[in-house]
Amino acid sequence: MACEPSVIYDKYIELNNASWNKFEEIGFDFPVKKQGSGYYIYLIVRFNENFPQMSLSFNAELDAPGGEQRFRDYDIMIKDPYKNLQGESHNEYYEIKIPLHENYKFQETGIARIEISNRMSKYETPGLAGFGLIVEKE
């Protein structure tokens, strides 16, 4: 019988004025209490109809407790070709859940950090309400 992953971290950071400044990094610190176990790390992107582009470009950096770093660039489609917003609709916003790492095995216990950096071309990216991070352990 397979075990269901359990949520060990769930945090949301709201952006001021539903806008993301190009130089504002978003960081999440979460505990790693067991090495060698599979961790599933998801980013939640919350946005509204004021998002002007078709996609959102960002970089996600993982800093593991043992000093290992992982970097990855993302281009997430926020609108379809007809400019309809994608994701799960809520009253005033939409959400997309993005897997950043699946079954990631940390080599050491301690505090891990995920940092999100804006890669959009403009100084401000309107229409972004905030970001959340969910970490599950198998």
pLDDT in tens, 50-73: 999 999 999 999 999 999 999 999
Question: How far apart, in whole angstroms, are the C-alpha atoms of residue 113 and residue 101?
Answer: 13
pLDDT value of residue 1: 46
Instruction: Report the C-alpha gap between 82 and 45 in whole angstroms.
Output: 20
| Rounded mean pLDDT, 71-97 | 94
DSSP 4: P
Backbone torsions φ then ψ of 29, nearest 5 degrees: -110, 130
What pLDDT is recorded for position 4? 64
11 beta partners: 133
Residue 99 token pair: 């897997």
Question: For the residues 21-50, what does the mean pLDDT come to?
Answer: 95
Q: Check residue 138 and give its pLDDT.
A: 82
pTM for the complete prediction?
0.92
Residue ranges and CATH numbers for the domains of the chain are 6-137 (2.60.120)
Which range has the worst mean pLDDT, 3-12, 27-36, 118-127?
A: 3-12
Q: What pLDDT is attached to residue 47?
A: 97
E-assigned strands of the chain?
Answer: 6-14, 19-21, 26-32, 38-47, 55-63, 69-77, 88-89, 94-105, 110-118, 124-126, 128-137
- Among 38, 43, 45, smallest CA distance to 15 is for 45
Dig out the tokens for 20 from the structure.
């993301």
- What tokens does 96 get? 């997309």
Most confident of 4-13, 30-39, 114-123: 114-123
Q: State which amino acid sits at residue 5.
A: P
> Residue 16, SS3?
helix
DSSP state of 84: P
